[in-house]
Amino acid sequence: MSALENQGTATGTAAGTAGQGNGAAPLPGRVAVENPATGQTVGYVDEMDAGRVALIVERARQAQPGWEALGFAERAHLMKELRYWFVQNRKRVIDSLVAEGGKTPEDAMLADLWYVCDALGFWGRSAERYLADERIRPRSPFLLGKKIVVRYRPAGVVGVIGPWNYPLTNTFGDAIPALMAGNAVVMKPSEVTPLTSLLVAEGVEAAGFPDGVLSVATGSGETGAALVDRADMIMFTGSTRTGKRIVARAAERLIPVSLELGGKDPLIVLSDADLERAANMAVQWSMSNSGQICQAVERVYVEEPVYDQFVGRVVEKVSHLRQGAPGATGAVDVGAMTFPPQIEIVERHVRDAVDKGAQVLVGGRRREGPGRFYEPTVLTGVDHTMEVMIEETFGPVLPIMKVRDADEAVKLANDTRYGLNSSVFTRDVEKGERIARRLDAGNACVNDALINYLAHDAPFGGTGESGLGVRHGPQGIRKYCSQQTVLVTRFGPKREPTMFPNKRVMSKLFDRIMVLLWGRRPKRRS
């Protein structure tokens, strides 16, 4: 039986079968998947209830010990086999991402497929090093001669709940370190974009992974909630609202949760910046994937002397962006809005800004015709009374605000409850780094944006309402483990000096030692 059949997921509707089922009503218990760029149905998946999720988790639980016992080298080999499968099947994977997400093939190739292929190699190479036993040298006199080792062991069954903007990177991308740590994984993709995860399950089977090690539970938020009720650890990417719900639900069972949530990422342009580079970065990373990136550039602060010049460059570039239904590579720059309610949020933010006095320099409206598109938009005359400057817009909208100086830019950049990524542009890189360190965000770039996400070896996480925990780096895999501290006494006396019966002489001795060790008043270092 194939992994897909075993899971009871879509039958014959996995990604790559775009167009299947067009016009037909979904059967009861099935969810239709729509191409947001054309409005056509591209497949159906099962809406799995709590009972089915329980069965999938149980199967994963049975598969986990054997998977752990395979060891790092064999798991790393299977990751390479899977990477080979991805490369051989890259067209199907990209077509699937384009069909269900309405994104451009370039975004599907670089931000989803490339990321995952790179991650398969990285975690295959690095997992053993990050999870190696750590020898601790205890300083307490009571522990003299004892060996202490910290070890990492897999949590068990990890539930990965993913969003619709990056169906591969933000779902399977997180499964990779969890698998390398020796966990079994159950993925719950967004019901808006579940097809690519089914394709991954096919790849995992073709690459020779043992049955049940990676499964897909398709369905809506209820399916995700059922996974939270069963898994041993949850990795979640999505909205802050749902993230908080997941934490509350996970607290019932006291299981660990790692969250990557929304953002309202600022980009600061100082008057000595390379304006062409800064403008290119601002346009690229506000409009890429129609702005549906958790760490998209969502607001720009520009020092007064270069404000007009910067705005002019951005307007020129955004006016020339080609938007439309993604087809062949190189055809369009900006695709569709994936999630139906998202376009209404974008419209609301722009309307609110305009009502409060903002100017629309480019775009500013939904595109006519089939599919779900919002025109690449540039706003000026914005301030922090407007939703577009404080709430996550998650659309192709770039509001630009004039500031007096760097201090005002930092103050406004930090006027947010989010804190995911951030950027500052200046030719004085030392000043840039000083400013980056003042930004209240889990990540900060100088003369760059977003590319830090590709550093698999550097932690990436949010502060405030942008999340808890990190992906990437040592913590990006250790979070999928429980820690065990093992103490070994090789040569111990029959009776330790601190043992019963309590003796006055021993208490006196410890009292003396305490005074000797810590009884001197500290001198302040000059």
Contact with ligand NDP (CB under 6 A) among 13, 41, 237, 258: 237
Q: Taking CB under 6 A as the rule, does residue 294 contact ligand NDP?
A: yes
SS3 assignment, position 216: strand
Query: CA 108 → CA 102, 111, 119, 144, 372, distances in Å?
Result: 10, 6, 15, 56, 18
Q: Taking CB under 6 A as the rule, does residue 50 contact ligand NDP?
A: no
Q: What share of the chain is helix, strand, coil (3-state, %, to 5)?
A: 45, 20, 40
Q: Taking CB under 6 A as the rule, does residue 190 contact ligand NDP?
A: yes
Q: Taking CB under 6 A as the rule, does residue 100 contact ligand NDP?
A: no
Q: Greatest CA span in the chain, whole angstroms?
A: 90
Rounded Cα distance, 395 and 411, in Å: 24
Q: Taking CB under 6 A as the rule, does residue 56 contact ligand NDP?
A: no
Which CB atom, from 199 or from 269, has the smaller least distance to ligand NDP? Answer: 199
Closest CB 133 distance from ligand NDP, rounded Å: 34
Closest CB 363 distance from ligand NDP, rounded Å: 19
Only one of the segments 117-125, 195-203, 218-226, 484-492 lies at the binding site for ligand NDP (rule: CB under 6 A); that segment is 218-226
Helix ranges (DSSP H) in 376-422: 387-390, 406-413
Q: Count of CB atoms within 10 A of residue 448's CB?
A: 15
Closest CB 171 distance from ligand NDP, rounded Å: 8
Contact with ligand NDP (CB under 6 A) among 40, 239, 447, 463: 239
Q: Taking CB under 6 A as the rule, does residue 98 contact ligand NDP?
A: no
Which CB atom, from 244 or from 384, has the smaller least distance to ligand NDP? Answer: 244
Which CB atom, from 230 or from 313, has the smaller least distance to ligand NDP? Answer: 230
Q: How many residues bind ligand NDP (CB under 6 A)?
A: 30
DSSP sequence for 124-179? HHHHHHHTS-EEE----GGGTTEEEEEEEEE-SEEEEE--SSSTIIIIIHHHHHHH
Q: Taking CB under 6 A as the rule, does residue 167 contact ligand NDP?
A: no
AA identity, residue 22: N
Contact with ligand NDP (CB under 6 A) among 53, 76, 179, 192: 192
Residue 283, both tokens: 């346009």
* Residue 107, CA atoms < 13 Å, CB-side half-sphere: 28
Q: What is the sign of the dihedral through the CA atoms of 460, 462, 466 and 467?
A: positive
163 with 238: CB under 8 angstroms?
Answer: yes
Closest-by-Cβ residue to ligand NDP is 224
Q: Taking CB under 6 A as the rule, does residue 256 contact ligand NDP?
A: no
Residues making contact with ligand NDP (CB under 6 A): 161-165, 170, 188, 190-192, 220-221, 224-225, 228, 237-239, 242, 245-246, 260-262, 294, 339, 342, 345, 392, 394
